[in-house]
């Protein structure tokens, strides 16, 4: 096995093209355990942490660009990003321990394609876009289109995620992420629920996104829950409809961490609570000052 640390995207693409069994990694918090568990070792390990573009967090008038290898510790420490995307940043802070967060990243969390990963539901709810580099140049897709199943992605050989793009949220918009784990930390989600809510001037829901993790092979958008919210205040019967729709949309497995019935019930409860949290944040006075 050979270790390489390119400093440009072009150099990383060239390295991947030169070896059929080369692998990129942004933190190796998933790759190293996989190798230790018996997965085939790559011939070349390409470390993306030395490419400035992949580790940068930038803000513009249009939104944010977050490098796919930016440590989640840096993401959680970015006050501007946390102010506009509190749920996504909260999800980032749930990845592993404080030590792991110095290495873990959005790119690795998404490209590992674990159904129980914490940041993908929030990336999906916020309509994040992934910029992907490969031998044919760069392309941009919705983050929702990257994972296609457990451990499987739409990335073709030689491709890797460079960065994520997030549009600045409109006025009176906020997100939230909640998960259930057997332990308070250092565990993966039994169920995760990400929500983004936009309110109109009367406090009714103008736009909504509800996404569930750990209840299907990939993140599930709950269209019925979103439709139940539009035009209504996020309370009472609307929240009950969200809970029912999320439970119905969940298609989990039975395992030692939770039964199908339990996960469906939890999916409904977490979706309802996440909607309430996101709506409360969206109603905060400062959220109405956005252009």
Convert the pLDDT of each residue in 101-126 to its tens digit.
888 899 999 999 999 999 999 999 99
Q: What is the pLDDT of residues 228-243, one digit of tens each?
A: 999 999 999 999 999 9
Query: Would you say residue 290 has pLDDT above 80?
Result: no
More confident residue, 173 or 100: 173
- Name the architecture of domain 173-286: 2-Layer Sandwich (3.30)
CATH number of the domain located at residue range(s) 2-167 in this protein: 3.30.465.10
* Stretch(es) of the chain classified as CATH 3.30.465.10: 2-167
* Stretch(es) of the chain classified as CATH 3.30.390.50: 173-286
Contact indicator for 185, 94 with CB cutoff of 8 Å: yes
Instruction: Kindly report the length of the chain.
Output: 291
Buried residues in 251-262 as b, exposed as e (16+ CB within 10 A): ebeeeebbeeee
What distance in Å separates the CA atoms of residue 150 and residue 207, rounded to the nearest whole number?
30
């Amino acid at each position: 096995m050979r270790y390489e640390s390119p400093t440009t995207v072009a150099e990383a693409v060239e390295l991947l093209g030169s070896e059929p069994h080369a692998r990129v990694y942004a933190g190796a918090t998933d790759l190293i355990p996989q190798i230790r568990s018996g997965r085939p070792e790559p011939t070349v390990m390409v470390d993306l942490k030395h490419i400035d573009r992949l580790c940068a967090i930038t803000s513009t008038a249009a939104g944010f660009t977050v490098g796919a290898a930016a440590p989640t510790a840096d993401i959680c420490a970015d006050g501007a990003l946390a102010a506009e995307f509190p749920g996504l940043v909260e999800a980032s802070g749930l990845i592993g321990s404080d030590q792991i967060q110095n290495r873990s990243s959005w790119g690795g969390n998404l490209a590992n394609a674990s159904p129980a990963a914490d940041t993908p539901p929030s990336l999906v709810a916020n309509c994040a876009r992934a910029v992907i580099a490969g031998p044919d140049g760069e392309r941009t897709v919705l983050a929702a289109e990257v994972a296609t199943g457990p451990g499987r992605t739409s990335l073709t050989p030689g491709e890797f995620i460079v960065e994520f793009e997030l549009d600045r949220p409109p006025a009176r918009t906020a997100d939230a992420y909640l998960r259930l784990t057997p332990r308070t930390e250092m565990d993966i989600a039994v169920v995760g629920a990400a929500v983004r809510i936009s309110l109109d001037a009367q406090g009714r829901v103008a736009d909504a996104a509800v996404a569930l993790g750990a209840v299907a092979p990939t993140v599930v958008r709950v269209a019925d829950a979103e439709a139940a919210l539009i035009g209504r205040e996020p309370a009472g019967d609307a929240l009950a409809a969200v809970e029912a729709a999320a439970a119905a949309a969940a298609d989990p497995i039975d395992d030692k961490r939770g039964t199908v019935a339990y996960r469906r019930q939890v999916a409904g409860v977490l979706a309802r609570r996440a909607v309430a949290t996101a709506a409360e944040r969206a109603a905060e006075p400062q959220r109405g000052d956005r252009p």
